Amino acid sequence: MDTITTSIFELFKVGPGPSSSHTIGPMKAGSDFMALSRALPVDTKELVEKLEIRLFGSLSATGAGHGTRKAVISGLLGHSPEHCPPEVLDNLDRTPDETHELDLVGTFVTFHANNIIMDAVEHDYPHSNTMVFRLLDKNENTLLEREYYSIGGGFLRWKGYVEPERGRPKYPYNNMAALKKHLTDNDIRLHELILENEKAITGRTEQEINDALDNLIEVMEHAVEKGITTTGKLPGPIGLHRKAPTMYGHARNEHFQGSGFIKALNAYALAASEENAAGHCIVTAPTAGAAGVIPAILFVLKRHMGALTEEIREGLLAASAIGFLVKHNASISGAEVGCQGEVGTASAMAAAMLAYARGYRFQITENSAEIALEHHLGLTCDPVGGFVQIPCIERNAMGAVKAYNAYLIATTVEAAYHMVDLDKVVQAMKETGHDMSQKYKETSEGGLALSMTEC
């Protein structure tokens, strides 16, 4: 199995909600295809009559509710996820006959929004979330084509993709067993290992990494702060009211004591997740659909437990290790393994972050993550109407509470009594996801999505 070479800042990415695989990935695809189009010879560009985009799998099934068409258009117009203001998405794809003039450098092509076609949900492409972009001439002949795969967490691949050259990690590993061996053999702590690997893989300095981590922390905090003070309904036909401000008000009235603390934790997760559902700026942690879990624990660490910035950074590095292992050995994509891969992974990462930031060493950190992930096994992805609202928002709150409870169990029970390691539960998650029916993998064709429709 290949060594893990994922960067922290590929796992944690700033971008607009509501779905990393349905908004961030497609936005990147739109931007990439425009770059390819502009690089064509002038005589080829002059033949371009039409740009056609076909969405397959869960992108087709739930793309309307996830804002996929808006994301694609914004990418074609030159926006990138990390710099895309929310109002850009708000003002796109409002009518079926909406048009945009795309500058191919030397010529323009008129793009019609209805040329983004929701194609087959079941297909033979190698990944559920497939997009096919084509430039066509007046006779419908293909001048340029690229087949993209939005593989979850905002990661984008395409047919013929070759991993870019990057540095080799100082401490190579592909599972938890190998990671633990490095920690023992080299007498190094987890955050130090992840930091050294990040430096080796990306070439960034420690200061650059810390600055980027601080930016992630700031964006997560802002999402929570905005969410607990914003009332009203979320966009879309469901008409779902925001719950975070009300929950936070009850927690504050109870002075964050007793059940008030748990209410606050719920409120923070709801807040960031509601901001995600509104299409506002969040951090994929590890996905947009699970963007409320880690910020909630981070907010608790900073505002209720008095954790220092350095401790939170170290906790995020520990969380990254968990996210890397799940992504590498199973999946963080709801379209591949259901919500166990999104909220389940986020909960495991958050539990690890909490344990590590509170000063516990590696074994307790792993146990915290394992407990949290184990108790999300089999969790389906069945968004009502294809919107990242019901049950997604409350699932983030449940994931945050499970992360906190996993931390409590791991730090209270004798570590030597722990029977299941993280590698085993990640393998179980992969197998469970493989066996799960496609209708429970972000297609809104089963589970709660179907039950709500029938009510």
Q: What is the pLDDT of residues 114-137, one digit of tens each?
A: 999 999 999 999 998 999 999 999
Average pLDDT rounded to a whole number, residues 424-453 = 89
- Is residue 166 domain-resident? no
Domain that holds residue 214: 176-454
CB count within 10 Å of CB 364 equals 20
Tokens of 439: 């209708």
Same domain, 118 and 189: no
Same domain, 233 and 311: yes
The mean predicted confidence, pLDDT, of the chain is 93
Same domain, 204 and 272: yes
Domain boundary (110, 130, 158) is at 158
Domain boundary (130, 158, 186) is at 158
Same domain, 209 and 108: no
The yes-or-no verdict on residue 172 having pLDDT over 90 is yes
- Is residue 10 domain-resident? no
- Is residue 144 domain-resident? yes
Query: How many domains are contained in the chain?
Result: 2
Percent of the chain whose pLDDT exceeds 90: 78
- Compare 378 and 281 and report the one with higher pLDDT: 378
The yes-or-no verdict on residue 20 having pLDDT over 90 is no
- Is residue 325 domain-resident? yes
CB count within 10 Å of CB 445 equals 18
Same domain, 101 and 206: no
Average pLDDT rounded to a whole number, residues 333-339 = 92
Q: Among 63-77, 170-184, 334-348, where is mean pLDDT lowest?
A: 63-77
Same domain, 225 and 292: yes
Same domain, 185 and 266: yes
Same domain, 366 and 443: yes
- Is residue 7 domain-resident? no
Q: What pLDDT, on a 0 to 100 scale, did the predictor assign at position 379?
A: 96
Separation CA 191–CA 175 (nearest Å): 16
Q: What pLDDT, on a 0 to 100 scale, did the predictor assign at position 87?
A: 67
- Is residue 168 domain-resident? no
Average pLDDT rounded to a whole number, residues 252-275 = 97
- Is residue 164 domain-resident? no
Domain boundary (124, 158, 192) is at 158
Same domain, 141 and 285: no
The yes-or-no verdict on residue 86 having pLDDT over 80 is no
Same domain, 340 and 449: yes
Average pLDDT rounded to a whole number, residues 14-26 = 87
The yes-or-no verdict on residue 88 having pLDDT over 80 is no
Same domain, 114 and 191: no
- Is residue 165 domain-resident? no
Average pLDDT rounded to a whole number, residues 359-379 = 97
Produce one character per residue of 221-246: b if its CB has 16 or more CB atoms within 10 Å, e if not.
Answer: bbbbbbbbebeeebbbebebebbbbe
Task: Give 253's pLDDT tier (boundaries 50, 70, 90).
Answer: very high
Task: Give 455's pLDDT tier (boundaries 50, 70, 90).
Answer: very low
Same domain, 135 and 246: no
Q: What is the pTM of this model?
A: 0.85
The yes-or-no verdict on residue 413 having pLDDT over 50 is yes
The yes-or-no verdict on residue 259 having pLDDT over 90 is yes
Tell me, what CATH number does 118's domain have?
3.30.1330.90
Q: What pLDDT, on a 0 to 100 scale, did the predictor assign at position 28?
A: 94
Does residue 23 contact residue 66 with C-beta atoms inside 8 Å?
A: yes
Separation CA 140–CA 131 (nearest Å): 18
- Compare 52 and 154 and report the one with higher pLDDT: 52
